[in-house]
Every structure is written in C-alpha cells, then in structure tokens.
Amino acid sequence: MADFPTILTSMLPKSALSVGVRLSKELLRKHAARIKGDKALIDSVVASAWVTTLRHDTCGVAPYKSETEGDFSELLVVGVQSHAEVTPAQIGRLQQLIHIAVQYPLLLAIDAGNATYLSLLPQGAPLEALVRAQVLPSVPEFFSYVAWLQEARPPHLMSLFHRWSCALHALALMQNKPAVCSELPFVPLDSPQAASQLADSIHRLNQEWKATTLDLKKATNPQQRITLSKKCRQLGVQIHQFLQSHHLLP
C-alpha cells in the first residue's frame, strides 16, 4: 500500500505490510474523537490512514501473554499520512486520540512529510505512559536498530514491542536532552522500564537545573547569587556524571 510511512518498511516484515487495510476517516471520527473539535482535527490533519496486525500468522512471531506483563497476542500498527502544514500540537493531539481509541498494544506512525512521528502505548497503560519521538533520517543508528526484526526473528511479540519502546525512548532522550548538554547519542537500553526511569531521572535533574538558573537570574542579594551559582555548577556536573554513568556521554 502506497500510504505506508517509509520508516515502517524497515520495522515491519513484508508479510505484515501486505495485510494492511485502509482506515476511513469516518471510522477514526467514530472511535477516536472525544469532543467536537477532535472531529475537525481528524478531518484537517488526516489525508489517509491504514492499520495492520502483527500476529503469528502475519509475521511468524509467537504471541506472549502473562498476568504480569499483559496480553501480546497481537500488535497493531496504525499509519497516518497527514496533510501539509500540520502543527506539533495537532500531531500530539491526534496521537492521544488514536492511542485512547485503540485498546491494543499499538505502534502509531504519522508521516508529516518532513518527519515521521512515532508513538507507542502498551495495552491498558495510562496515557501518561505514552512514548513518542520524531524520527529523522539523520539518525541511522535508529534505523539499523529497528531493522532487527528483518534480520533476526524476536522470540515473541512482547520482545518486539519492548524493542520498539526502547528505540523510541532513545530518540526521545536525544530530542529532549538536558539544557547543559549539546547532544546525546542514540543509545537504547535493555528494557523499556530502564529507559523510562532514565528519562525521568534526566528530566528531574534538568528541571532542577532550569529552576535554579531562573532563581539565579532573579536574585539580587550577592550572597544568594553566589549560593545559586554554585548550585547551578554542581547540578551541571551531576547531570554530566549521570549521563556518563549510563554511557550517554564519552
């Protein structure tokens, strides 16, 4: 199907791509729209959409189900081709709507022309657990990492879903790097739980650094400025050491 976002051709086997079916806007409006404005958003953003299912019979990967990990009998992949001139806010809202509407482990790809937006949410997880990242061709490590499915079959669908999750977390870390760092490499971790904890820790440290920097700008008392300036330097060192300990900096 011509509407598949290009990124997914490296993430999905041809057998899964070949069974994709088109999603109508009417179906998206019926199941995804939460308020009146959402229907208008779907009409203005979505040019076309499709869905495919990864099951044992469509990709050759075994299902997985447990009381603790959840049901990975099948994975859904939804692809959306957007109209031109979409905004990040529109992309973000469309991601939320589709993930809320689809009660399956879901990988969503929105092709906006200049970039592809990937998002992922496990079945039954709260929307706050949504992992999303913007995929750019300038990150070849990401493409080689997700192409693993084409080279070596994962043991089961949960393993595949977790690998996608780690890849998206790694991209998100690159794009939301701490203000004291110029860049971060693409370094996926061993598990989505570890990746999520790392992202949360970096975010908390970065927010503390930003808040201290803002306090420093507002401070007029010389002694207070000295104290805040020292704290900013300490936090900067702490962030770098934390990133180095997780092999995110040389």
Query: 40 is written with which tokens?
Result: 């208008």
Query: 246 is written with which tokens?
Result: 């997780």
Residues 168-187: what's their mean pLDDT? 88
Q: Kindly list the domain boundaries of the chain, sorted by start residue.
A: 6-175, 192-245
Average pLDDT, the chain: 87
Q: What percent of the chain has pLDDT over 90?
A: 36
Query: 179: left (phi > 0), else alpha (psi -120 to 50), else beta?
Result: alpha
pLDDT above 90 (res 115): no
CA pair distance 11, 28, nearest whole angstrom? 24
Least confident span in 25-34, 44-53, 236-245: 25-34
Bridge partners of residue 34, in order along the sequence: none
Residues 6-34: what's their mean pLDDT? 84
CB count, 10 Å around CB of 242? 16
Helix (H, G, I), strand (E, B) or coil at 180: coil
CA pair distance 118, 97, nearest whole angstrom? 14
What pLDDT is stored for residue 31 in this prediction? 84
